[in-house]
Structure 1
Amino acid sequence: MVTHVPAEDRGDERGALLAFVEAQRGGLRRALIGLTEEQAASRPSASGLSLSGLVKHVAECELNWLRMAQQQPNEKQRDASNWHESFQLVGDETVEGMLAFWDEVAAETEEFIRKVPSLDDTFPLPDQPWFPKEGRVSMRWLMLHLIEEMGRHAGHADIVRESLDGKTAFELVALANS
C-alpha cells in the first residue's frame, strides 16, 4: 500500500495535491473490499465497466501520464489494437496483482512530484488531435488531471459496486476501518 501523505505535508501544495490523488485512489480501492475475482470482473451496468477493469485503467493511465511528465517511454502504452484490454484483466492478471502494480506507480508518482524542481515545470503533450498543437502542461496540471481522472472513475466504481451488492461507499469505509 502506498504511504499516505503525512499530515504535516498536506499544507504545502505538493502535499495537498498528493493527498487528494491518494484520497481518490482510496475510493477505487475500497470498492473492491470483500469481492472475489469474479465479482470484481463482473459488469453489472449497461456501460460494461468492471471494478477490476477500472483499477487496471487508472493504474495504466497514471503510469502513462507519469512517463509523459518524465519524458520517458511507457512500456505499457496502449494503441488501437489493444485499447480494449485497458479496461479488463487478461491472462494471469489478478486484482491483487493490479493493486500491487498501482501501488508501485503511485509511489513513483509521489517520488517524482516531490523531487521535481517546480510544479510550474512543463512537459510536452503528445501529438494527438484532442491536445493543442505543440501543447505543454505543468506538473501542477498533471496532478490536477490525476485527481480529475481518479475522481471520475471512483464515481464509476461506486455505481458498479452498488449494482453488485448494494454496498455504498460509506459502508465500505466502515468495513475498511474495522
Structure 2
Amino acid sequence: MSTQTPQAVESTETVEAVETAEGQYPASTVEGPTPEHSDLVAQLRASRHFLKFTARGLDDEQAARRTTVSELTVGGLIKHVTSVERAWSAFIAVGPAAMPDFHAMSEADFEERVKEFRLLPGETLLGVLTAYEAVARGTDELLLGLADLNASHPLPSAPWFEPGARWSARRTVLQIIAETAQHAGHADIIRESLDGQKSMG
C-alpha cells in the first residue's frame, strides 16, 4: 500500500509480523525520506494499532462502558488520543498558535476537554475510529514530508511545561507515540475487565 505525502515524497511499506492475542498483526515498516522518519512513523502506527485493537468487536454501549473504578472507557480513550494527536501534529506544522492558551482557558473550556474522554450521546465507536484514521493519515503525511526533524517551536505556556522550553518535531512525535502507547495500555486493561479479551498474551 502506498502513502501519499507532501512534496511528492514517496513511501512504501514492507511487512513484518507482531504476535497478538488474535494471531499475527502485520506491522508496517514505512520507507520514508530517512530511516529515522520511517522508524518514527512505523512505531506510531504500531502504537495506534494496539489502541484500536482493544475496540475490536465492541458495540457502542460496550465502548462507552466503565469497567474499572476509573472513568476511562475504550471509546473515550480513542477519542482522547485522536484529539491529542491532532493537536501535536498541528504544533509541528505551525507552532504554539495551534494549541490553546492554558492561562486563558475558562471553566467551560476545561469541561470541553473532559468530554474528550467520553463517548457523548450521538457519538459512535465507528465515528470515533473513522476520525482517528483521518487524523492518523494526516499525521503520517506530515511526518513523512518533514524536511528537518530538528525544526523546533516554543511550547505554549502551561504549568506542565518548563518555561521557555522548545520541542523539535522529533521530540513532539515521541510525545505522540508515548501518549498513544500509554493509553493503549489503559484501554487493554479496560477491555480485559469487560470480557477477558487481551491485546497480547
Higher relative contact order (CA 8 A, sep 6+): 1
What is residue 9 of structure 1 aligned with on the other side? 31
Deviation of residue 92 (structure 1)? 2.0
1:105-131 deviation per Cα after TM superposition (whole angstroms, max 9, x unaligned): 111111111112111111221111111
Sequence identity, in percent?
36
Q: Distance in 2 between matches of 1:38 and 1:81?
A: 23
Structure 1 unaligned regions, length at least 5: 172-178
Q: What does 1:77-156 correspond to in 2, within 5 Å?
A: 79-156=109-186
Out of 78, 83, 93, which is 1:60 matched to?
Answer: 83
TM-score by length of 1: 0.86
- Cα 1:125–1:17 change in 2 (3 A) is same
TM-score by length of 2: 0.77
1:75-123 deviation per Cα after TM superposition (whole angstroms, max 9, x unaligned): 9x99313122010012322111111111111111111111121111112
Residue 99 of structure 2 contacts residue 156 of structure 2 at CA under 8 Å; is this kept in 1?
Answer: no
Asked which structure has the greater CA Rg, the reply is: 2
Q: What does 1:18-57 correspond to in 2, within 5 Å?
A: 18-57=41-80
1:125-163 deviation per Cα after TM superposition (whole angstroms, max 9, x unaligned): 111111122221011101111111011001001100100
Q: Distance in 2 between matches of 1:73 and 1:83?
A: 16
More helix by share: 1
How many positions carry a matched residue from both structures?
169
- Runs of 4+ residues over 6 Å off in structure 1: 2-5
More strand by share: 2
Structure 2 unaligned regions, length at least 5: 4-10, 15-29
Q: Distance in 2 between matches of 1:66 and 1:143?
A: 8
